[in-house]
Structure 1
Amino acid sequence: METTEALWLLAVPVAALAVAALARRTRIAAPLALVIAGLICSYLPGVPDFALNPEFVLYVFLPPLLFSAAWQSSFVDLRANLRPIAFLSVGLVLFTTLVVGLAVHLAVPGLPLPVALVLGAIVAPPDAVAAVSVAQRLGLPRRTVTILVGESLFNDATALTAFRVAVAAATGAGFTWLDGAGRFAYAAVAGALIGLVLGPPLHWLRTRLNDPLVENGVAVIAPYAAYLSAEAVHASGVIAVVISGLYLGHRFTESAAITRLIGHSFWKIVVFLLESVVFLLIGLQLPPVLDAVAERSWGSLAWWALVAFAATVVARFAWVFVVSYLPARLGFARAPADGEEPGWRGHVVIGWAGMRGVVSLAAAFAIPFTTKSGAPFPDRDLVLFLTFTTVLATLLVQGLTFPALIRMLGAGGAERETYNDTVAAAGAHHAAASAAIGRLDELAAAEDLDPDVVERLRHLAEQRQLRAWERLGGGTGQGGEEVPSVTYRRLRREMLAAERVTFIRMRNERRLDDAVLAQILHELDLEEASLQRD
């Protein structure tokens, strides 16, 4: 590789980080900003074509992104909302594949139905990264966010399996739809089993290493181990990664505190970097895609792109509302675990949260160039073009209007959930502190302990109880006056800053070694991190 090529490869993550940082400062959804920036950069003079390697995306980018999302997801909440998640991640994906495939087949003269179904499978799975980030920022109810997250975790497996079946039919590999159903069932079950088999031994290993760096190193290897193990036996690598991530994330509380601190920070950085690069690459794909269809009529291309986009959006809305209301009409509805349905506003939000992403583009570029007989794959360039326009339209049209839609509908509900969470947290803190004081009394009775140490520890536990209940007042007293817990955190941060300045000055005066300084600063940083409020 020449130095110039290496510099261009470096330019992609650098540009992605710069755009993502700007988006965070301006509170613009980063995926949208990155795609637009990629589109603009793709037409700048001297910028080379960045071909999206589907294997690189599916084998390098996808596993850690899925694993991190599963790791941070609530297994309890996902299980409580399993029915709507299954309807979206399996039923909706297959329904979208059929609707988009039939619509494009009827709109594009001479386009074979199997090829149209390939397109349908490609654009079927939404990428909920942008939707979830906006939903959390604008305070959508937790159940709606959980459903969107759960859908994004599992829908890729359904879509990629449907894609392989459709490609086999389009290339004349001899697959039938019955074969496809069997293949999907095998991929899902085998992938889930592999994830379950890998989870316990990886967790057992991590909890016995007693080394935070190595423990988190195992977590880095885990998604690739799950994905490659499943793909090696033609199972769903996506499901294997998600299941193993859910298991390890659910048991992460059994790790040491320093391991959790390092792991939390590490995955935040990895996901931020990978997502930034991926969405910038989406925007950079436009020139080669347009070159491939340059000989076709632009009017026809625009009409076909509109049909594909409209079919994608309409299919999601139709499925969300029919599946939400039809079972109740037929008497088959089951009350949700939390006792609250999203309501029609929540269903509109879920229906509009259908932004597509990198998995669709990766699948499109993975379409073979030839059929089983050696002939060129029919209309491969057109499928690529319609995939790109659908991804771009969903990100720009739905993504840009999504925040306004939530505000217009008044679909929030996080204020009440936040209050309930604070009450629950205060009660839990009170119970935990009482247990801590009880354990302290047991140790004080059994051992000859310094009374001053016991009293300081008792006072600390009691202060934690008081701080938990103070949060019910919003963190301030009457007339905006600080409550003691807020004052404590503010003053202690000022004290830590003064200590840090002193230690650094002593290092500069050669009275303290750098290695000692690093250890001291790490201790101060941990204490300062403990003072931060969510």
Structure 2
Amino acid sequence: MEATHALWLLAVPITALGVAALARRFGVSAPLALVVAGLLAAVAPGAPEFELDPEFVLFVFLPPLLFSAAWESSLPNLRENARPVGYLSVGLVLFTTLAVGYLAYLIVPGLPLAGAFVLGAIVAPPDAVAAVSVAQRLGLPRRVVTVLVGESLFNDATALTAFRVAVAAAVGEGFSLLVGGERFLYAAVVGAVVGLLAGPPLHWLRSRLDDPVAENAVALLAPFAAYLIAEALHASGVIAVVVSGLYLGHRFSTSPAVTRLIGHSFWKVTIFMLESVVFLLIGLQLPGILAGLSGRHPLTLVWWALTVFAAVVATRFLWVFATALAPAVLARRRARKGDRSLDARELTVVSWAGMRGVVSLAAAFAIPVTTHDGQPFPERDLIHFLTFTTVLGTLLIQGVTFPALIRLLGLGGERERYEDAVAEAGAQHAAARASLDRLEALTADEEAVDEQVVERLRTIAEHRQLKAWERLGGGTAPGGQEVPTAVYRRLRREMLAAEREVFIRMRDERRIDDEVLSRVLHELDLEEVALSLD
């Protein structure tokens, strides 16, 4: 039995990776495909029941997922969009908690107000993984993507803090707005301080290790350290992780080249694995959730689920458009600062990008089983069910239609990408010019420099100077011919392939050792990766 159970556990990541890979290959929403696969696996004959451990999710999955997102985020862009990010990650979460919670209190007989607010806090935070990936692929304006990313970084902290306050009231610890506000401010401020204090020493340590593997190991440790320290202080571990990730990611550009290459690859693989497994686990929760609802009428459950889902979607639309219509004085201030507000099309996209995910389910399963007086927590199974249907509904309805909505509104364009390409070309030109000037200064002081070496270095700098401008033409010259840099990349890749074949053949013939092969292949791989980035 133990071996069978172990095989089922092994099947979870294998299935998750297989489904995610197929979804990426065919352009299907990976989170949605994984949830559906989990649903199908959950009802398969002989499948064991997988219960989501909330502590495991909140500690093992959430910190690296948030840290990676913060690591790759632009700190200057987030600063420039602090107002809309704050409106969504704090204001919208609290508004959704109150609105959805009060509605649930009105429509569900026997659900106390504190328990209803627990449900509201659980379904309040969107998971922007799917939305951001689609937005980036379809070329949404950078500001829209920044707002969605910023919201996803901080809204979990707001929701989990509101959840803890609501649970405390529901189990009989007592509640007041003053106490709730104090808890929220303490969690946010202390969590941010922990993140800020954790960032500099970790960056100092990484910058002095001079070992790419060890430097990235420190980065892997960072989210768990920040989360644990903040939680030990009863503060927001989520905010601590995000702040430390923003700090370290902003300074990652000063790390050595090999460290950056390993780091980017490591985080891509890690996040792909974690996201795949976690969305599959969402679908696998169905049997356990349905088990506690056997006494409920199916039509009543459907009515409650549809109402809560509609409320979650409607509150986001209402809040996004209401906060966009700021007082005229604020609009004049933003105009003076050059801060362009999102237009109606962009606001619609932001409003529809409200897919829920694993944080909501983890919070739902973290609800205590009993209150302080030993009574069962009111409607715990129902809250699980309404959370699951809301997550599934947002992934199915909003997740499937999100790309079509972007195309329908005409927001998935190439204008910003073209502007980026022009800016990159100008930067490449200036950088190449600086490198040539540095080369001339160095060779002027050194008499015994081979002219062929100097000429080769000049050619490399000129190639780098031209490639960005040629990219603006799509890699083709007038008449459909390849531009010189495209020809160079194509021919050089073929040359590298020929070299690789020789090295592998010599290893197979035992003329060189595997250690030698690994070293030379690493050099070839680095050059080929550089060519693919050209």
The bucket for the TM-score relative to the shorter chain is over 0.9
Answering whether residue 90 of structure 2 is matched by residue 96 of structure 1, we say no
Q: Distance in 2 between matches of 1:420 and 1:410?
A: 18
- Residue 299 of structure 1 is matched in structure 2 by 299
- Residue 25 of structure 2 is matched in structure 1 by 25
Could you say if the C-alpha distance between residues 332 and 296 of structure 1 is closer, same or farther in structure 2, counting changes exceeding 3 Å?
farther
Q: Distance in 2 between matches of 1:44 and 1:14?
A: 17
Deviations 1:119-149, CA, capped at 9 Å, x for gaps: 0000000000011111111221111111000
Could you say if the C-alpha distance between residues 329 and 412 of structure 1 is closer, same or farther in structure 2, counting changes exceeding 3 Å?
farther
Could you say if the C-alpha distance between residues 10 and 426 of structure 1 is closer, same or farther in structure 2, counting changes exceeding 3 Å?
same
Deviation, structure 1 residue 470: 1.3
- Residue 275 of structure 1 is matched in structure 2 by 275
Q: Distance in 2 between matches of 1:428 and 1:155?
A: 35
Moved more, 149-158 or 330-339: 330-339
Deviation, structure 1 residue 456: 1.4
Structure 2 counterpart of 1:250, which letter? H
Instruction: Verify the 8 A CA contact 1:115 1:378 in the aligned structure 2.
Output: yes
Instruction: Verify the 8 A CA contact 1:127 1:354 in the aligned structure 2.
Output: yes
Q: Distance in 2 between matches of 1:320 and 1:27?
A: 29
Q: Distance in 2 between matches of 1:506 and 1:163?
A: 62
Q: 3-state SS of the aligned residue for 1:405?
A: helix
Q: 3-state SS of the aligned residue for 1:478?
A: coil
- Residue 76 of structure 1 is matched in structure 2 by 76
Deviations 1:36-67, CA, capped at 9 Å, x for gaps: 11111111001111000000000100000000
Percent identity over the alignment is: 69
Deviations 1:296-327, CA, capped at 9 Å, x for gaps: 11111111111110110110000000001133
Structure 2 counterpart of 1:61, which letter? F
Q: Distance in 1 between matches of 2:517 and 2:262?
A: 20
- Residue 437 of structure 1 is matched in structure 2 by 436
User: Which ranges in structure 1 are unaligned for 5 or more consecutive residues?
Assistant: none
Structure 1 counterpart of 2:451, which letter? P
Answering whether residue 512 of structure 2 is matched by residue 522 of structure 1, we say no
Could you say if the C-alpha distance between residues 423 and 150 of structure 1 is closer, same or farther in structure 2, counting changes exceeding 3 Å?
same
Q: 3-state SS of the aligned residue for 1:398?
A: helix
Q: 3-state SS of the aligned residue for 2:479?
A: helix
- Residue 127 of structure 1 is matched in structure 2 by 127
Q: Distance in 2 between matches of 1:366 and 1:220?
A: 26
Could you say if the C-alpha distance between residues 96 and 515 of structure 1 is closer, same or farther in structure 2, counting changes exceeding 3 Å?
same
- Residue 416 of structure 1 is matched in structure 2 by 415
- Residue 425 of structure 2 is matched in structure 1 by 426
Instruction: Verify the 8 A CA contact 1:96 1:315 in the aligned structure 2.
Output: yes
- Residue 63 of structure 1 is matched in structure 2 by 63
User: Which ranges in structure 2 are unaligned for 5 or more consecutive residues?
Assistant: none
Could you say if the C-alpha distance between residues 508 and 331 of structure 1 is closer, same or farther in structure 2, counting changes exceeding 3 Å?
closer
Q: 3-state SS of the aligned residue for 1:184?
A: helix
Answering whether residue 380 of structure 2 is matched by residue 390 of structure 1, we say no
Q: Distance in 2 between matches of 1:105 and 1:275?
A: 33
Instruction: Verify the 8 A CA contact 1:36 1:283 in the aligned structure 2.
Output: yes
Structure 2 counterpart of 1:246, which letter? L
Q: 3-state SS of the aligned residue for 1:354?
A: coil
Q: 3-state SS of the aligned residue for 2:523?
A: helix
Q: Distance in 2 between matches of 1:327 and 1:390?
A: 33
- Residue 37 of structure 1 is matched in structure 2 by 37
Answering whether residue 357 of structure 2 is matched by residue 360 of structure 1, we say no
Structure 2 counterpart of 1:253, which letter? S
- For normalisation by structure 2, the TM-score amounts to 0.98
What RMSD in Å do the two structures reach over aligned CA positions?
Answer: 1.3
Q: Distance in 1 between matches of 2:115 and 2:467?
A: 62
Deviations 1:217-262, CA, capped at 9 Å, x for gaps: 0000000000000000011100000000001000001111000000
Could you say if the C-alpha distance between residues 224 and 338 of structure 1 is closer, same or farther in structure 2, counting changes exceeding 3 Å?
farther
Deviation, structure 1 residue 381: 0.8
Could you say if the C-alpha distance between residues 45 and 333 of structure 1 is closer, same or farther in structure 2, counting changes exceeding 3 Å?
farther
- Residue 462 of structure 1 is matched in structure 2 by 462
Structure 2 counterpart of 1:207, which letter? S
Deviations 1:85-136, CA, capped at 9 Å, x for gaps: 0000000000000110011111111211110000000000000001111111
Q: Distance in 1 between matches of 2:433 and 2:323?
A: 47
- Residue 137 of structure 1 is matched in structure 2 by 137
Deviations 1:425-455, CA, capped at 9 Å, x for gaps: 1111111111111111111122222222122
Could you say if the C-alpha distance between residues 315 and 191 of structure 1 is closer, same or farther in structure 2, counting changes exceeding 3 Å?
same
Instruction: Verify the 8 A CA contact 1:125 1:356 in the aligned structure 2.
Output: yes
Deviation, structure 1 residue 5: 1.4
- Residue 445 of structure 2 is matched in structure 1 by 446
Within 5 Å, give how 1:210-229 maps onto structure 2: 210-229=210-229
Q: Distance in 2 between matches of 1:32 and 1:135?
A: 16
Instruction: Verify the 8 A CA contact 2:334 2:340 in the aligned structure 1.
Output: no
Instruction: Verify the 8 A CA contact 2:324 2:341 in the aligned structure 1.
Output: no
Deviations 1:238-296, CA, capped at 9 Å, x for gaps: 00000000010000011110000000000000000000000000001011101111111
Instruction: Verify the 8 A CA contact 1:369 1:377 in the aligned structure 2.
Output: yes
Q: Distance in 2 between matches of 1:147 and 1:293?
A: 38
Answering whether residue 429 of structure 2 is matched by residue 401 of structure 1, we say no
Could you say if the C-alpha distance between residues 256 and 26 of structure 1 is closer, same or farther in structure 2, counting changes exceeding 3 Å?
same
- Residue 322 of structure 1 is matched in structure 2 by 322
What is the aligned residue count? 533
Q: Distance in 1 between matches of 2:39 and 2:444?
A: 70
Deviation, structure 1 residue 329: 7.8
Q: 3-state SS of the aligned residue for 2:498?
A: helix
Q: 3-state SS of the aligned residue for 1:294?
A: coil
Moved more, 138-147 or 220-229: 138-147
Q: 3-state SS of the aligned residue for 1:362?
A: helix
Q: Distance in 1 between matches of 2:509 and 2:444?
A: 48
Q: Distance in 1 between matches of 2:356 and 2:336?
A: 27
Instruction: Verify the 8 A CA contact 1:42 1:284 in the aligned structure 2.
Output: yes
